[in-house]
Amino acid sequence: MPELPEVETVRRGLAPVMEGAVIARAAVNRPDLRWPFPEGMAERLTGKRVERLRRRSKYILADLSSGETLLIHLGMSGRMLVSGDPLGHFVHDHPAPEKHDHVVLDMEGGARITFNDPRRFGAMDLMPTAGAEAHKLLAHLGPEPLGNAFSESYLATALADRATPIKAALLDQRIVAGLGNIYVCEALYRARIAPARACRRISSARLGALVPIIRDVLTEAIAAGGSSLRDFRQADGELGYFQHNFDVYGRETAPCRTEGCGTPIRRIVQSGRSSFYCPTCQR
């Protein structure tokens, strides 16, 4: 499933053709994805201007001139692809319709945004922009890891007394929003913290030091266009490239990249997810 860097990469790719533009025509080609689409979604989108395109955790939010906000979740295999952009950001002509093109937004000016989702684990919803943070998918999210509320003191305090393994705690969206398996593995490697170590057995200083490390990992991943492991594509159809910079994720038995180490990377399973780490460098 796309994590924060992949979703932010898609948002940045969509912004030049969506922000300030009017949706000339919206087509909804099936009644549902993971959940049913909101009633009359095509009619509620058609003719509306996209005032702002933002991200909250792993969700893209399009604030509309109607006073509603379109929530987009990519799910496991969802892609939002742009074609026919007259501004020159995207050179692709409109492709022939495909089987899994579930929502198509034709923008005034000629750009088209197509939401394609073969596995149908994605989702879209419409909600009032005022009070959007109270939506059931957003209401219990923690602070954004790239925002000011995610500080060294916040994380140290939030995790200080928890017996939870640090890996599980960082994946808890109520503690910090948007982090997923890949980038938590990479951040813990840089912090030299073992993924199975209980939070309360990690000093406040080490917990606090995770904050700038997490920010660095996410910032580098966004700059690289995210990570393409299976289905992820940027809005222009290109792959992300951060997977070529992984230090531990997916590198089981490969040598640790820390100079002078070389210990084989190990994989363990935590709550059904693979954790990759160096047993020598991470304690």
CATH number for the domain spanning 23: value is: 3.20.190.10
Indicate the pLDDT class of residue 85, thresholds 50, 70 and 90.
low
Note the pLDDT of residue 234.
Answer: 45
76 against 106, higher pLDDT: 106
SS3 53: strand
Which CATH number does the domain housing residue 201 bear? 1.10.8.50
96-110, 175-189, 221-235 — which one is most confidently predicted on average?
A: 175-189
Indicate the pLDDT class of residue 224, thresholds 50, 70 and 90.
confident
Summarize pLDDT for 239-267 with one digit per residue, the tens.
443 455 789 999 999 999 999 999 999 99
> What is the extent of the structural domain holding 93?
4-134
Cβ within 8 Å of residue 48, ≥6 positions away? 22, 23, 64, 65, 66, 68
Provide, rounded to the nearest whole percent, the portion of the chain with pLDDT above 70: 89
Same domain, 186 and 270: yes
- Measured CA to CA, the distance from residue 6 to residue 12 in angstroms comes to 10
For residue 74, what are its two tokens? 């990519």
Indicate the pLDDT class of residue 1, thresholds 50, 70 and 90.
low
Summarize pLDDT for 182-212 with one digit per residue, the tens.
999 999 999 999 999 999 999 999 999 999 9
Q: Which of 247, 264, 227 is nearest to 185 (CA)?
A: 247
Summarize pLDDT for 50-84 with one digit per residue, the tens.
999 999 999 999 999 999 999 999 998 888 888 88
Same domain, 186 and 212: yes
Active-site residues, by number, are: 2-3, 58, 273
Q: 16 lies in a domain?
A: yes
pTM (2 decimals)? 0.89
Q: Which of 251, 275, 255, 272 is nearest to 263 (CA)?
A: 255
Pairing of strands 50-56, 112-116: unpaired
Indicate the pLDDT class of residue 98, thresholds 50, 70 and 90.
confident
Same domain, 261 and 177: yes
Question: Does the CA dihedral 259-260-266-271 come out positive or negative?
Answer: negative
For residue 79, what are its two tokens? 């892609």
Same domain, 156 and 126: no
Pairing of strands 59-64, 68-73: antiparallel
Cβ within 8 Å of residue 268, ≥6 positions away? 195, 196, 274, 275, 277
Total residues belonging to the chain: 283
Rounded to the nearest 10 degrees, the angle between the axes of helix 204-223 and helix 152-159 is 120
Pairing of strands 79-83, 101-107: unpaired
